[in-house]
Amino acid sequence: MEVASPIPKKHARIEIIPLIDIMFFLLASFMMVSLSQTTMKGMKVALPVGASGQTQSKKDYISLSVDKDGYYYFDKTKIALEEILPRLQQVYRTNPDAKIFIRGDREAVHGNVTRMLDQIRSSGLEIKSQATAGVPGTAK
């Protein structure tokens, strides 16, 4: 004979909503801890200066630019295409290792940039392409 219990029999249930709340709390806690650890908290120190290093001055760099209207600029000075070669030859005589940064406007005609590159090649300076920060091509 079976005796019935006065307490109704319930099946065990897993309540998922409190588990989701706990998981979101843990996720937010870990995110906050990881973000706070990315800041470098170090002491300020005076870094040593090397004796063998060479400082580079602005004299070592020349900027040649072409704008969208076809005008040429030599270190922010507007010049004609024919004046580029004599100036570059003078720079080459004083400093054969001078670096030239070539910049062309996005809307500049390709032929204008090519003519400027021909002037650089004629001056004796060597052209090398390098990827630098924000400068698509560099001539040496």
Domains and CATH numbers, the chain: 60-139 (3.30.420.270)
* CA atoms of 52 and 71, how far apart (whole Å): 41
**Mean pLDDT of all residues in the chain?**
76
Give the pLDDT score at 135: 46
- 85: helix, strand or coil: helix
pLDDT tens-digit readout, 84-130: 888 888 888 888 777 888 888 878 888 888 888 888 888 777 666 55
- 81: helix, strand or coil: helix
Higher pLDDT, 134 or 29: 29
Higher pLDDT, 5 or 65: 65
Cα 26–Cα 31–Cα 34 angle in degrees, nearest 5: 125
pTM above 0.85, yes or no: no
Q: Are 64 and 116 in contact (CB under 8 A)?
A: yes
